[in-house]
Each structure stands twice: as structure tokens, then as C-alpha cells.
């Protein structure tokens, strides 16, 4: 009987010390998960310009999002790298701004323009002639009924017209400057608003985009509540979300959805309906993270370019896994650690 009593005594002592010092075991796990994921995405973002001279959402925008959310949670990031990403983007497009501003010369079209502007926002860059060119590009590309299309079907990030339209409206409005451009963007957003509010979501990217669009474009409280409920209803028993109804949960869909829910619900910790879903999603991400800090997601996109190895985990699935790792890292930082003090390990 002595050994069980000793073990019980030690457990109670540990619990007492934990409570006395205010240490949250779950927060500690989340912090370590974020720090591990951050190492992966920062390394991937740093390596990418050495291998390719083109802009990408999976190695610029989404790693930058993870970095910003980690910094907001009190975790140190590579600040120089964040600035370097912005400069890399400028270097890629600086010599074709005139053509871009006329709605030309941009692979990936509106989605690329929106992700690029998002990257500029994440890097804290000011509105200038560079951002003006991409806002103008977005305006040129809008369809008559108000939406924007994707150029190629490369799921999950390049398949949702709803998410593309949300990103185009949000970042065109964010970066619009000058009376003329602001008026043009306002008119474009009004057309997009009608289209977005009437759109029917299918993929998780669709549902997340519509929820964020309702928040940014002035949806009614009833519409926003219904969109949030639609996200919650799609959560799986394992705590995750899937890209499509017939697929299993994965870190890309789960990270993106968790980030959307927390970013769109500032008081989520007081929401008795929302908090359990967030806790289950956090548990899912903690449980599925690999030992190296990454999350694995298998690609379902047909390659349109010759594969190259950026040195990231998971071989030919490394680009979608990099995006997934970025979303998961950003979501955990946003959902579990925002404004938390740094700890000493």
C-alpha cells in the first residue's frame, strides 16, 4: 500500500504546486505546439525564395499569419524574416505593376492578388502605389454578378469561389486609398455583398469564407449566428473538420475553421456553446501534430507544375502540409494563447 500512497501524495503535491503557481498545463502544451509549428513554417518560408522566384500563399501568406498570431501570443518570432517576406513579394512584382494595375500579368488571378495584399497586411506594410496596383487588379477581375473566380482548381485553397470573393473584397477595401479608388472598391464590395450573402457553401473553405464575409460586410446578427452554427454543426466527433463532407478531418480544415471561429468571436471563452467546440478542436490539433512540429495533410490537388523539394516535411505533400501547419499553428496561438505571457522552459 505504501507505493500507491506515495504516488497519490506526489500527484496531489504536483497539483498543489501547479495551482499555486498558476501554471495551466493545457496552455503549456499549446505553447509548445505553437513553438514547434512555428519552427517548421519559418524554416519553410526562409527556404522558399532560394528555390522559387514566385509568390505563394503556402510559403508566404500562411506562414506569415502563423508568425503574427504567435507574436500576438507572446512568442518570439523571426522579425527579420517577416520583413524579408514582404520585400521578396515586392521584388517579384515590382517590374510589372503597370500591367497588373490593368488587370493583367498575374498567375492565379484574383486569389493571388488577395493573398498578396493579405501578406502585405500581415507584414505591417503601408498603403502605396504597390498595393494600389493589386487593388486595381482585383477591381478589373470582378464578374458582373459580383463574385471573383479561381483560375485553377487546386484544392483546398484554390477551389472556393466564396472564399476567393471574401478575400478579394476584404483586402481591396483594406488597402483602398484615394477618393476614386475607394469609391470603386465600395461599389465592388456592394455587388459582392449581395452575391456572397446568397451563395451556397459546400466545402469547408466555402463555409469559412462565408462566415468571415458576413462579419466583414455587415451581415445581420441572425445571419452571422446561423453561419457560426453551420461551422459548429460540421465539426466531427474527433474534434476536427474536413475539407469536404466525404473526407476525414485534417489539420488544414480544422486549423482554418478554428481560426475563423476564434477571430470572429472575441468573447468565445464566455460562450457556453462555442467553447466546448473550440476545446475539442484544440485537442484534435494537439493530438495530430507530428513529433517534428508539423501537421500532415495528403494532397488532393493535381500538380500543374513540376515538383520541387523545398526541404519541408512530408515529401510530395509538403505544400499542403505547410499550409496546414501554418493554419494549425495560427489557430492554436489565437485560440489558446492570445496575450498570454511568455514562459521560461
Residue 16 within any structural domain of the chain = no
The CATH number assigned to the domain holding 130 equals 1.50.10.20
CA-CA distance, 277 to 312, in Å (whole number)?
31
| Residue 20 belongs to some domain of the structure | no
Domain count, the chain: 1
pLDDT over 70 (residue 167) = yes
| Confidence tier at 337 by pLDDT (50, 70, 90) | low
Question: Per the domain annotation, does 132 fall within a domain?
Answer: yes
Torsion of CA 328, 125, 186, 61, to 10 degrees: -30
Average pLDDT for 16-21: 40
Q: Is residue 26 part of a domain?
A: no
Name the H helices within the chain. Answer: 2-20, 25-51, 62-72, 79-93, 97-101, 109-122, 129-141, 161-175, 179-198, 204-216, 221-233, 251-263, 274-288, 318-336
Burial of residue 90, with CB atoms counted within 10 A of its CB: 0-12 exposed, 13-18 middle, 19 or more buried = middle
Range of the structural domain that residue 254 is part of: 51-335
Does 10 map to a domain?
no
Q: Does residue 196 sit within a domain?
A: yes
The pLDDT of residue 6: 53
Mean pLDDT of all residues in 218-242: 97
Specify whether the CB–CB gap between 68 and 86 falls below 8 A. Answer: no
CA 323, CA 58: separation in Å to the nearest integer?
A: 5
**109: in domain:** yes
pLDDT at 96 over 60: yes
Is residue 134 within 8 A of residue 113, CB to CB? The reply is yes
Residue 11 has pLDDT above 80, yes or no: no
Q: Against a cut of 0.85, is the pTM above it?
A: yes
pLDDT score recorded for residue 273? 87
Q: In this structure, what are the phi and psi dihedrals at residue 272, rounded to the nearest 5 degrees? A: -70, -20
Long-range contacts of 82-89 (CB under 8 A, 24+ apart): 82/122, 82/123, 83/123, 84/46, 84/49, 85/45, 85/60, 85/119, 85/123, 86/119, 86/120, 86/123, 86/125, 88/49, 88/55, 88/60, 89/55, 89/60, 89/116, 89/119, 89/120
CA–CA gap between residue 304 and residue 306 (Å, rounded): 7
180 within some domain? yes
Mean pLDDT along residues 302-309: 81
- pLDDT band for 154, please (50, 70, 90 cuts): confident
The CA-CA-CA angle for residues 58, 334, 221, to 5°, reads: 100
Amino acid at each position: 500500500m505504501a507505493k500507491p500512497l506515495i504516488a497519490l501524495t506526489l500527484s496531489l503535491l504536483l497539483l498543489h504546486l501547479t495551482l499555486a503557481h498558476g501554471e495551466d498545463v493545457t496552455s503549456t502544451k499549446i505553447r509548445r505546439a505553437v513553438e514547434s509549428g512555428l519552427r517548421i513554417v519559418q524554416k519553410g518560408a526562409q527556404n522558399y525564395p532560394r528555390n522559387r522566384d514566385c509568390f505563394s500563399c503556402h510559403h508566404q501568406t500562411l506562414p506569415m499569419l502563423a508568425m503574427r498570431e504567435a507574436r500576438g501570443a507572446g512568442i518570439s518570432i523571426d522579425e527579420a524574416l517577416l520583413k524579408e517576406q514582404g520585400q521578396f513579394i515586392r521584388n517579384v512584382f515590382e517590374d510589372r505593376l503597370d500591367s497588373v494595375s490593368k488587370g493583367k500579368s498575374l498567375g492565379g488571378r484574383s486569389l493571388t492578388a488577395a493573398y498578396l495584399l493579405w501578406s502585405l497586411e500581415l507584414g505591417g506594410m503601408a498603403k502605396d502605389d504597390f498595393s494600389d496596383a493589386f487593388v486595381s487588379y482585383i477591381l478589373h477581375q470582378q464578374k458582373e454578378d459580383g463574385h471573383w473566380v479561381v483560375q485553377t482548381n487546386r484544392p483546398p485553397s484554390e477551389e472556393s469561389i466564396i472564399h476567393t470573393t471574401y478575400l478579394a473584397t476584404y483586402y481591396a477595401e483594406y488597402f483602398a486609398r484615394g477618393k476614386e479608388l475607394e469609391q470603386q472598391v465600395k461599389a465592388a464590395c456592394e455587388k459582392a455583398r449581395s452575391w456572397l450573402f446568397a451563395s451556397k457553401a459546400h466545402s469547408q473553405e466555402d463555409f469559412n469564407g462565408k462566415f468571415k464575409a458576413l462579419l466583414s460586410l455587415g451581415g445581420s446578427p441572425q445571419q452571422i449566428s446561423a453561419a457560426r452554427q453551420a461551422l459548429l454543426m460540421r465539426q466531427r466527433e474527433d474534434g476536427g473538420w474536413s475539407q469536404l463532407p466525404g473526407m476525414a478531418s485534417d489539420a488544414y480544415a480544422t486549423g482554418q475553421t478554428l481560426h475563423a471561429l476564434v477571430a470572429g468571436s472575441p468573447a468565445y471563452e464566455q460562450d457556453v456553446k462555442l467553447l466546448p467546440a473550440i476545446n475539442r478542436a484544440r485537442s484534435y490539433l494537439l493530438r495530430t501534430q507530428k513529433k517534428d512540429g508539423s501537421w500532415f495533410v495528403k494532397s488532393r490537388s493535381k500538380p500543374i507544375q513540376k515538383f520541387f523539394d523545398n526541404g519541408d516535411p512530408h515529401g510530395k505533400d509538403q505544400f499542403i502540409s505547410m499550409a496546414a501547419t501554418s493554419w494549425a499553428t495560427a489557430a492554436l496561438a489565437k485560440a489558446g494563447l492570445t496575450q498570454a505571457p511568455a514562459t521560461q522552459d
